[in-house]
Amino acid sequence: MRRSHSVSLWVGLLTGLVALLAGCGGEGRTETAAAQDRTRVRVETLVLQPQPFEDVVEVTGSVEALDDASLSAEASGTLVHVAERGTRVPEDSLVARINPRSARAAVEQARAQVESAQAQYELAQDTYDRQEPLYRDSIISASEFESVRSQRTQALASLNQARANLSQAQEQLASTRIDAPFAGTVETRLQEPGEQASPGEQVVRLVNTRQVRIEAGVPERYANDLVQGDSVRVRIQSATLDDRWGRLAFVGNTIDPASRTFSIEVEIANPERRLKPEMVAKVFVVRERLTDVLVAPRSAISRDEDGLDAYTVTRTDSGAVVQSRRVTLGPASGNRVVVRSGLSPGDELITVGQSDVATGDRVEVVEQYDDADAADPAADDAENAAADASSPSATP
């Protein structure tokens, strides 16, 4: 009886020990699995779908007024009027004036000389008209008639000279006016009333910004891709302005040997005058429009010594598994690039966290996008930076 009781006791102890060990082993495996889940890399992905893409050349330029001129004096004298800064003046209207008193006196004197010369010429012409029949009838001699002819010629020469003097005096009077060659606004007064002006000396700067242009340099590799007259998109980064469209008004034919660029000019309507000269602008010129291509953020593509790679996620029963894909790329614009080969529609491309994974890794997808722009972290950073720059509380 005692032996049987001892055996039962040992069996019970062994059974309890086995159960305890089994319980400890299960708990350990559960903790290990949880730890593995916690160490999985958190990634964001983009589900690739065919979409349109614009192959865009992006260059930076500066805004200039299409009409911007520093107006100079054409005569010497004292300035008696200079339009105030900010004054809007129509075309051909007065902007500044030099004292016209002496020029007016010269015109009056020249006009009197013309009247006198005109009277002398008319008298000489009348004498000639009366003497010519007498000469034909041989009533007066040839020498007498030649004297009449000479007087008429001299009177005509005097009249022509007097008229030339009057025209010159009138030009001198007109040159005391500085008129607007185009409608615009007085931007700067370079001289003040009372100061002495001299021919060629700048007096005012007149600007019209209702039409502006942007000058930029384009890399020479695009020399055959841009066509004058094409529409282009313009973005002003220093101001909270919407993108606007302009016209490619000029495409240079020569390459700058220093920068290896050629010049372009873009003209833009600016009726509200919100574009200011010297603003920095980005110009986007479309080289080609593609349809049904796969587009990815550039930041999702990694490079090694053998080429370019992208990482995708494959869904399995055990979770999301990373795969590496060798890719080739096409044209790019900003941080968006066309993937020519290596990826297919429906592939789930890792766009955030790709630098922390390798083939075969299990990852946790925390965000999934279906648009390349939305999945682009660089675009978000640029947007945030632009918002910070335009904020009143932003500091240099």
Question: How many residues can be counted in the chain?
Answer: 396
Distance CA 287, CA 227 (A): 9
User: Is 60 exceeded by the pLDDT of residue 22?
Assistant: no
The rounded percent of the chain whose pLDDT value lies above 90 is: 62
Task: Say what the pLDDT of residue 12 is.
Answer: 52
CA dihedral 157, 161, 162, 163 (to 10 degrees): 100
Task: Say what the pLDDT of residue 39 is.
Answer: 63
Task: Say what the pLDDT of residue 79 is.
Answer: 96
Task: Say what the pLDDT of residue 15 is.
Answer: 54
Task: Say what the pLDDT of residue 206 is.
Answer: 96
The residue with greater pLDDT, 305 or 351, is 351
Task: Say what the pLDDT of residue 338 is.
Answer: 93
Task: Say what the pLDDT of residue 384 is.
Answer: 45
Distance CA 241, CA 234 (A): 10
3-class DSSP state of 25: helix
- The backbone region for 360, taken as left when phi is positive above 0, alpha when psi lies in -120 to 50, beta otherwise, is left
User: Is 80 exceeded by the pLDDT of residue 377?
Assistant: no
Task: Say what the pLDDT of residue 3 is.
Answer: 43
Task: Say what the pLDDT of residue 378 is.
Answer: 59
For residue 295 the two structure tokens come to: 């587009």
User: Is 60 exceeded by the pLDDT of residue 380?
Assistant: no
Comparing CA positions, the residue from 215, 224, 347, 326 lying closest to residue 281 is: 215
Task: Say what the pLDDT of residue 304 is.
Answer: 86
- Spell out the domains of the chain, with CATH numbers in brackets: 41-52+291-390 (2.40.420.20), 100-175 (1.10.287.470)
User: Is 60 exceeded by the pLDDT of residue 27?
Assistant: no
Rounded alpha-carbon distances, angstroms, from residue 230 to 140, 209, 233, 260, 361: 81, 22, 10, 22, 49
Q: Which of 76-80, 86-90, 139-143, 248-252 has the lowest mean pLDDT?
A: 139-143
Distance CA 118, CA 166 (A): 13
User: Is 60 exceeded by the pLDDT of residue 8?
Assistant: no
Are the beta carbons of 329 and 301 closer than 8 angstroms?
yes
Question: For the residues 301-306, what does the mean pLDDT come to?
Answer: 88
User: Is 60 exceeded by the pLDDT of residue 333?
Assistant: yes
User: Is 70 exceeded by the pLDDT of residue 24?
Assistant: no
Question: For the residues 225-235, what does the mean pLDDT come to?
Answer: 89
The residue with greater pLDDT, 24 or 67, is 67
Confidence of residue 9 (pLDDT cuts 50, 70, 90): very low
pLDDT tens digit string along 67-117?
999 999 999 999 999 999 999 999 999 999 999 999 999 999 999 999 999
pLDDT tens digit string along 337-361?
999 999 999 999 999 998 899 999 9
